[in-house]
Structure formats: structure tokens, C-alpha cells
A = this chain, B = another copy of it.
């Protein structure tokens, strides 16, 4: 699929995002009450399934065709020593994804999900791998302490490619649920800048240790985020209402963040639940929500990362994470585990017997879960 007019594709996709189907969600909740269990006893899994019913507009959604998109790119800001790993690790890890040796390969398989790996803009060329989608929108984004990460047309292109990717996957093997993951040395610096710009929080409070950096590198990273925001005004740290998602991506983002933002928009427009992983895929969700706030209703937060910027992101998006396992790897690992829980929640809703079907007496109390 060639994209003639990326900006138009983004606008069309955003405009197609309708609110979740409240009626389907209500019917799912009503069905939950008739299943052979005390009301509310499956806790958050009940609310999760009802939410996915609203997203998919189906009383009993089935999440059989599962996809994890892992988008990778390099970042010019890596030159400031903000990561514990050298830049060539991005390409090496993408090769590891293609070879099936990374954590996301294991956890996607565990979740029954296929993996789509995207070279959105890695510096080094990645050998082999028919399964690798080679977008290569640049040889890494530019150093965001010196100016924008990329020209605005390229930001549009990155998002549009994410939209096209999900459309192609839906047309191909089909997608009932999608998780979003990332790879990119120094991309937690770009993500922290996005989080600071969107939430208005000070860079220090949303900057974390990423792959595991020492105090010296951490201080350098905070300064780098501050500089990136100052240089790329109007998305400065004091901004509290960043509504131009494309401009935000162009100024302090990255190619993989743009592709993931496009995946979120396309998922929401197609009533596909989209599962956020950690800091970087969360920052991509912020970009998507800046373009079209309605995307929020289609997002599921899989886990709370150890990265402070991730908690700020989830609060901004008003999403409660399903898991708190101190994951901070990225790649979509938390999203894959989150898909596992979404599948469990929807299977319970779909497959459990009702009191009537099973011939089980219902409660002699009428008690709501909140009582």
C-alpha cells in the first residue's frame, strides 16, 4: 500500500473513531450477572471484558487473532550518552526479534499472538528477515536538543505508515486485538520529552533510568529532555495542553513512536482494542490521543512500568494498568501479558455457563459488588 497523502489518511482515520458501543458493554455486564459466580467476584476481569465488549461492539467478543507490533528506530539524541547501551544495539535487537530470541518472541507466543516487526528508522541495515517491515523513514531521528526530531511531513508519514500497517494486517490474517511495543536505544529520552510536554510535568519527574543508567547518565538525561523541550517550543515543559500530536511527534518524538501512534488510531477507528506496553508505547498513545482524544476509549493499559513517565502517561489517559510486575523492558512484553488477560476476561464472558444453563441456584441476597 502506497500512501499518497499521509495527512489526509491520518485525518480520515481520526474522523472514523466513534465512541465505544455503550449498549454492547451494558449487555456484556448484564450477561456477567447471569454467569455462575457471585456478582462481581471476577473483579477487574469483568470490567475489562465489558469494556472490550464496548470497544468491539460485541456482547461476547472473541479475541482469536492477536497481533503485537514492535516498531524500532534510532534516535540522534543517543549521542548524549543517555542510554546504558551503544546505538548499534537497536539493530542487533531487531535482528534478535527476527530470529525469535527476544523476550517479546517468547511472550507473544505465550499469548498466542503473532509479531510484526517494523524497522521504522534504524541506523544500521538489518540483515535477513522476510517478516521485517522495512519502512526506514530515516537513519534515526535527528538530535532533539538541536532542533526537531524530524520534519513535519516525515512525522505524518510515520503515523500514516502505522495506520496502513494495521489496515494491511486486518486485511491479511485479521486482528481482534493488538499490542504495541518498541525498540530504540535512547527512545526513553524522546518518550520522556513527549510525556513532559503533554502532561506539563517537570522533565525530572517523568525521566527514568531506561535500560538501567547510573546517576551521572541520569542527570545528563534530565538535562537532555529539558533542552529538547526548550529548543522545540511550543512544546516546552510548561505546556499543559499539547493538542497538535503531529507537531509533538515531529519536534521531540521518533519514527517508531509515530508508527505506533498510527497503529492506535487505526485500531480505534476499526473497533480493535489496542494494548499499551510501557513508557514508549504509552508516549505513542499520547501522540495518538493528541490527534484524536477519542482513541482513549480503545486503549487498554497492560502494566505499570517502573518508569515514572509511564505512570504520568496512564494518569493522563485515565487508564488503570492490569499488572504491576516492575517490567521495564519494552518490546511489547507487558502488552503481550496484557493480551493474555484480555483473552482470559473475554473467554470467561463468552464461555461460562449461566445459572439457568447450569441449574445452579442464584444468590438469595441481592447485593451489588460495591455493597
Q: A: which residues have CB within 8 A of B?
A: 35-45, 84-86, 88-89, 92-93, 95-96, 99, 101-103, 105-107, 109-110, 209-214, 217, 306, 322-329, 333, 337, 340-341, 343-344, 347-348, 351-353, 357-365, 367, 369, 371
> Contact between B358 and A212 (Cβ–Cβ < 8 Å)?
no
When distances are taken between beta carbons in the complex, the residues of chain B under 8 Å from A92 are 358-361
Min CB–CB distance A127 → chain B (angstroms): 11
Most buried by B among A84, A325, A367: A325
Docked Cα-Cα span, A210 to B37, in Å, equals 12
Number of copies: 2
When distances are taken between beta carbons in the complex, the residues of chain B under 8 Å from A329 are 37-38, 41-42
Given the interface pairs A42-B329, A93-B36, A96-B36, the reply to whether A84 lies near B367 with Cβ below 8 Å is yes
6 more contacts with CB within 8 A, not counting A41-B328, A103-B352, A214-B365, are: A42-B103, A84-B367, A85-B362, A101-B357, A101-B358, A103-B348
22 inter-chain pairs at a CB distance below 8 angstroms, sorted by A residue, are A35-B103, A36-B96, A38-B84, A38-B211, A38-B329, A40-B212, A42-B329, A45-B325, A84-B367, A86-B361, A92-B359, A102-B358, A103-B348, A106-B347, A106-B348, A106-B352, A107-B347, A212-B363, A213-B365, A323-B323, A337-B344, A340-B340
